[in-house]
């Protein structure tokens, strides 16, 4: 996951639209952007503003192998909304704020906003139906739909049933309050375990069976610091009911309560196969959390949360501390489920166009077996301190690292003794955005300009828990500067409170929040689940769940107070909630080269001490238990058990590919694509500029060039003013490189993507701003550029520590194709190393760097670009004049240079980082090495391997957090990868056994159908209008026609068992492919000779 993971929040799995990429879509869907998020401007936002913050966002995924690289690189979009404004910048590291979350609401691909009337319910307050009583009906004006609160008569369970007949992406979720008592990881382990078989579905892992054969758009389970959530989504009604049925049976009647081996597999167990071997700990969650605790950002954020709210459930780690997880017993495991996984402690959610009455009936079929029970699960509030506190802790670094500037300091507050009401929450969000939401916001700018550290951390405001918090600090500081960071924060906040917020900044924040909420865009995350998380942010704490779904009235009231009456509301809040607030905590995080060895030695000593207490019979018992568990893991489920897991039929899958309406034309030298889609007045503009004229030696500079375009300022506005103008007039502007292989071509597709969005009336301003950025950016500010470079360097370091599989995939890909080489230059280890060299060069010879940036600008921005417009049909014709004006600002010309010709070298690598786990990769190009001819069955087969062989061998048996493969149909690259893996050679052996597994596998009709259906679920991902338009642009740039897509679809649907077995011949080539391992020094050095690894240590002091 992303480096800035949240304390305690965990995710079991993710698939489908949650990540925008799962299994095969990397092969069939649009490519992902390199270096930055190309979709930034049109990405997800929060209801009433950005979703971010302390302890809320799911930070880990147990089934990441099935979610593909995009999920693991970018982080799962998973939770609730914050009442504030969004901020999107790779400059902001947020150990407490974590990854960008989807928002509370989004547009659907249908005409939701085109309908002015509210979809009303037939329910009535007091009505009794299917064992439920209607308690409340709310017309949700902002969403143009109706929400109904029902209470189950027999158990007291609550249900919010939102009836939205225009939403085809149906969503369901159940939420249990699960406050942990210690850091043994019980809530997290249980979240994994309940999906390992149940009363109705007596298979080892019905979750993976659903992954194999569902059209789901979301399938997940999440552990938060105080609750556990089980959400699903699908556009297919029968598939949706299947998902709901399996999940309900799983959470209420799990096999895990009767079989201790589930806890052993998912949580922890002693492992030993021979008396001559040492005793070890194994378990999926155990190894997952060892990976989490190897990341300094994660350790810092958990330390902060635990100490900021120590007298609450947040004082312990709900995800589990690896030192404490082995204390979790089976009896405690069962007792926790009995206490909290009861309907009386449950909150259910439905949203979409499924029949409302059937929701009640379906739930009652499960709940009628239970009686009402008193459940003590209220979340305790933290009493506020009368004086500030301070905490110090150590984190592990490599023995060769320069630790002179590797400390972190963060200042945090608990802002009130209760959860604030809606208007106050939005006001706090506006204050937060004005302080930290943009690079030029005063608090963020002061910290960045100070030169004390490399990157702002903390995330600012977060109100997703029982009390709101505010956190801010710096990473990569001198240990002696921790006090200076605290003093700078207090000094800056004091000055802002005295001088007041700039009126234009406040209005820009309000405009941004209002745009985001009217646009209602959650990106690839199902809108209904975003709404559920928004409701749960209140519902979980006994507050009004419907309040979280509104924004119109409070925004209107705040605009009157802040803009029209100019009341000092924000300044008063700043003084009261922060400056005069004595519940303040300073966390100082210090690097320690002995911490990693100390942790490993303590674990080894603990195991040795335990073994010393065991008799020979006891040891033999553990050997037998290890053998029994492995036999269970490797024994296939019986066909009759597998048949109980419901699935769709192949006949339910549409035979024809979905087409995106596209009109092709030209304006001057530019090619123009137009997509008439229902966007409710929002205009999405994508501009593609060819990168082929970029010299190969400047390619590593492109990501920082893209950041500089938005954050260096222009001839008419410094970067503070520029961001403010963007917020006042648009929904955002982003720039990022996009590189992909093309089918049947050695040349890559390589573009700089500039993306923006605005309401139609503001399109002239949007196009003017985009032209100003492209042609008027100023590169003279050396200090500002170095700030951006150091932030990028810090982000690269975090990626190496927390997303080593992504780094390994890039290093392998760079050896195989031009596109792979170029992608690694802008987003992998090469980029990390290049940024370090660039910082040194800029400090010594800034004119040379400035000249290179100007050279990039001259060779990229030319009028012969591609313009992509997505808007309502009646709006599109009115956009031509604005596009022509924009093009008139660009120099004439087109990119004509030949593409880069890198020198390939086949090398196996070991990349040493301070980590307790490994990320193991192996790859080859099947087109070149195996002379494989593409057939759609390869996509089906690759997906099957991820849910069978690799799942079983790497994750279930091996104990890794994820094991998966990826076949890129464009390039021919086939990659095996593992995630948070305790093993190395054992994992490589599993990879090498894949071909034989395929040859010997007995395919039946059910298995084949599941594999095809699941693949088609990836292919037919649910998309919002802006995503459809952007996907069409990418297909156009790649030269992928509707006919090509239909041919691939036909091949997928027609896949046979023989097709899948024949793919084994191609996979033989991967046995002799290159290996790349990112991991701890002992593991890599131990395998370096046998694997022929070229060992490097990117963090070693030069």
Burial of residue 719 (CB within 10 Å: 0-12, 13-18, 19+) is buried
Return the closest-CA partner of residue 567 out of 515, 506, 494: 506
HSE-up (13 A, CA, CB side) for residue 570: 30
Residue 660 phi, psi dihedral angles, 5° rounding: -100, 125
Q: Is 266 a catalytic residue?
A: yes
Alpha carbon distance 1050, 811 (integer Å): 34
Write out the DSSP string of 699-731: GGGHHHHHHHHHHS-BSS--HHHHHHHHHHH-S
Alpha carbon distance 65, 341 (integer Å): 28
Beta bridge partners of 1078: 911, 919
Place of tokens 């099935």: 66
Place of tokens 């204390």: 327
Of 163, 167, 266, 824, the catalytic one is: 266
- Alpha helix locations (H) across 52-115? 68-74
Triad 1070, 1073, 1078: Cα angle to 5°: 110
Return the closest-CA partner of residue 930 out of 1024, 1077, 1070, 830: 1070
Place of tokens 């603990």: 606
Return the closest-CA partner of residue 409 out of 478, 313, 323, 318: 478
Burial of residue 614 (CB within 10 Å: 0-12, 13-18, 19+) is middle
Other beta carbons within 10 angstroms of residue 744's beta carbon come to: 9
Of 191, 516, 824, 1040, the catalytic one is: 191
Strands 962-967 and 973-979: antiparallel
- C-beta of residue 185 within 8 angstroms of C-beta of residue 317: yes
Return the closest-CA partner of residue 172 out of 182, 181, 162: 162
HSE-up (13 A, CA, CB side) for residue 448: 27
Alpha carbon distance 538, 421 (integer Å): 9
Secondary structure class of 690 (helix, strand, coil):
strand
* The residue count for the chain: 1102
- C-beta of residue 865 within 8 angstroms of C-beta of residue 826: no
Task: Write out the two tokens for 79.
Answer: 């939770």
Return the closest-CA partner of residue 82 out of 540, 460, 411: 460
Catalytic residues: 191, 266
């Amino acid at each position: 996951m992303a480096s800035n993971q949240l304390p305690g929040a965990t995710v079991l799995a993710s698939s489908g639209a949650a990540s925008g990429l799962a299994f095969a879509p990397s092969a069939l869907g649009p490519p992902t952007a390199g270096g930055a998020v190309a979709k930034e401007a049109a990405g997800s936002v929060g209801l009433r503003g950005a979703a971010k913050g302390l302890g809320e966002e799911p930070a880990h995924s147990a089934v990441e192998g099935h979610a593909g690289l995009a999920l693991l690189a970018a982080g799962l979009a998973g939770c609730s909304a914050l009442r504030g404004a969004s901020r999107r910048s790779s400059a902001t590291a947020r150990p407490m704020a974590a990854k960008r979350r989807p928002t509370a609401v989004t547009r659907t691909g249908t005409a939701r906003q085109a309908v002015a009337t509210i979809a009303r319910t037939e329910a009535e307050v007091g009505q009794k139906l299917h064992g439920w009583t209607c308690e409340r009906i709310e017309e949700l004006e902002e969403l143009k739909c109706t929400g109904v609160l029902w209470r189950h008569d027999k158990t007291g369970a609550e249900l919010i049933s939102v009836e939205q007949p225009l939403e085809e992406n149906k969503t369901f979720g159940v939420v249990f309050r699960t406050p942990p008592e210690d850091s043994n990881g019980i809530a997290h382990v249980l979240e994994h375990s309940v999906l390992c078989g149940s009363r109705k579905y007596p298979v080892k892992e019905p979750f993976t069976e659903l992954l194999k054969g569902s059209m789901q758009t979301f399938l997940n389970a999440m552990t938060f610091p105080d609750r556990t959530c089980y959400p699903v989504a699908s556009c297919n009604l029968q598939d949706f009911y299947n998902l709901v049925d399996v999940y309900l049976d799983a959470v209420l009647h799990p096999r895990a309560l009767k079989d201790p081996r589930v806890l052993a597999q998912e949580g922890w167990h002693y492992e030993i196969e021979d008396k001559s071997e040492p005793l070890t700990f194994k378990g999926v969650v155990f190894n997952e959390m060892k990976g989490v605790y190897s990341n300094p950002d994660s350790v810092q954020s958990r330390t902060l949360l635990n100490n900021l709210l120590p007298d609450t459930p947040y004082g312990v780690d709900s995800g589990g501390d690896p030192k404490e997880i082995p204390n979790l017993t089976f009896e405690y495991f069962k007792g926790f489920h009995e206490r909290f996984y009861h309907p009386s402690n449950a909150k259910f959610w439905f949203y979409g166009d499924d029949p409302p009455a059937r929701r009640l009936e379906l739930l009652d079929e499960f709940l009628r077996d239970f009686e009402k029970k008193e459940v003590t699960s209220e979340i305790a509030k933290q009493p506020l301190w009368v004086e500030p506190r301070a905490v110090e802790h150590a984190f592990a670094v490599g023995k060769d690292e320069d630790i002179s500037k590797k400390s972190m300091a963060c200042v945090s507050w608990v802002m009130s003794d209760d959860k604030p009401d809606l208007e106050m929450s939005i006001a706090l969000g506006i204050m937060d955005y004005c302080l930290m939401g943009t690079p030029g916001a005063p608090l963020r700018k002061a910290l960045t300009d100070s030169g004390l550290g490399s990157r702002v951390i903390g995330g600012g405001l977060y109100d997703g828990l029982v009390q709101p918090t505010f956190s801010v600090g710096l990473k990569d500081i001198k240990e002696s500067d921790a006090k200076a960071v605290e003093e700078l924060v207090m000094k800056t906040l004091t000055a802002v409170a005295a001088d007041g917020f700039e009126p234009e900044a406040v209005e820009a924040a309000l405009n941004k929040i209002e745009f985001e909420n009217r646009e209602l865009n959650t990106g690839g995350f199902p809108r209904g689940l975003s709404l559920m998380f928004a409701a749960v942010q209140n519902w979980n704490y006994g507050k009004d769940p419907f309040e979280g779904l509104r924004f119109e009235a409070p925004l209107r009231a705040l605009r009157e107070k802040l803009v029209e009456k100019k009341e000092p509301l924000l300044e008063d809040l700043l003084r009261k909630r922060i400056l005069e607030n004595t519940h303040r905590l300073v966390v100082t995080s210090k690097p320690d080269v002995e911490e990693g060895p100390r942790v490993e030695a303590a674990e080894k000593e603990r195991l040795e001490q335990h073994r010393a207490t065991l008799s020979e019979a006891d040891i033999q018992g553990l050997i037998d238990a290890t053998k029994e568990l492995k036999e269970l893991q490797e024994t296939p489920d019986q066909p009759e058990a597998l048949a109980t897991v419901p699935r769709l039929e192949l006949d339910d899958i549409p035979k024809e590919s979905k087409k995106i309406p596209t009109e092709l034309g030209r304006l001057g030298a530019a090619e123009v694509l137009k997509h008439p889609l229902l966007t409710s007045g929002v205009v999405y503009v994508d501009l593609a500029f060819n990168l082929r004229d970029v010299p190969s030696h400047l390619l590593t500079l492109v990501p920082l060039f893209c950041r500089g375009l938005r954050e260096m300022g222009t001839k008419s506005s410094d970067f503070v003013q520029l961001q403010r103008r963007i917020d006042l007039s648009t929904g955002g502007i982003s720039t990022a490189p996009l590189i992909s292989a093309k089918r049947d071509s050695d040349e890559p597709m390589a573009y700089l993507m500039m993306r923006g969005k605005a309401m139609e009336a503001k399109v002239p301003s949007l196009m003017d701003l985009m032209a100003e950025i492209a042609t008027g950016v100023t590169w003279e500010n050396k200090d500002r550029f170095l700030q951006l470079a150091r932030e990028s360097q810090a982000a690269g370091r975090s990626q190496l520590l927390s997303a080593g599989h992504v780094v390994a995939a890039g290093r392998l890909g760079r050896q195989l194709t031009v596109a792979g080489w170029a992608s690694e230059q802008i987003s992998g280890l090469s980029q990390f190393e290049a940024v370090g060299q660039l910082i040194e060069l800029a400090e010594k010879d800034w004119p040379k760097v400035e000249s290179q940036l100007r050279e990039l600008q001259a060779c990229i921005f030319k009028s012969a670009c591609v313009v992509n417009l997505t808007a309502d049909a009646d709006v599109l014709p009115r956009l031509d004049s604005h596009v022509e004006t924009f093009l008139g600002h660009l120099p004439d010309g087109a990119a004509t240079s030949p593409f880069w010709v890198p020198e390939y070298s086949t090398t196996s690598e070991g990349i040493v980082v301070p980590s307790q786990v490994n990320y193991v990769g192996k790859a080859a190009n099947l087109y070149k090495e195996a002379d494989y001819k593409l057939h759609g069955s390869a996509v089906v087969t690759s997906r099957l391997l991820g849910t069978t062989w690799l799942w079983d061998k790497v994750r279930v048996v091996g104990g890794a957090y994820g094991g998966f493969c990826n076949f890129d149909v464009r390039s021919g690259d086939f990659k095996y990868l593992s995630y948070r893996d305790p093993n190395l050679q054992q994992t490589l052996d599993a990879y090498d056994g894949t071909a034989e597994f395929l040859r010997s596998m007995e395919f039946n009709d059910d298995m084949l159908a599941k594999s095809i259906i699941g693949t088609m679920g990836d292919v037919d991902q649910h998309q919002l209008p802006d995503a459809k338009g952007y996907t069409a642009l990418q297909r156009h740039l790649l030269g992928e026609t509707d006919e090509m897509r239909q041919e691939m679809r036909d091949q997928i649907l027609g896949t046979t068992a023989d097709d899948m077995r024949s793919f084994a011949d191609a996979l033989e080539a991967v046995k002799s492919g290159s290996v790349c391992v990112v991991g701890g020094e002992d593991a890599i050095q131990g395998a370096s000779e046998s694997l022929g690894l070229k060992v490097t240590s990117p963090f070693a002091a030069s």
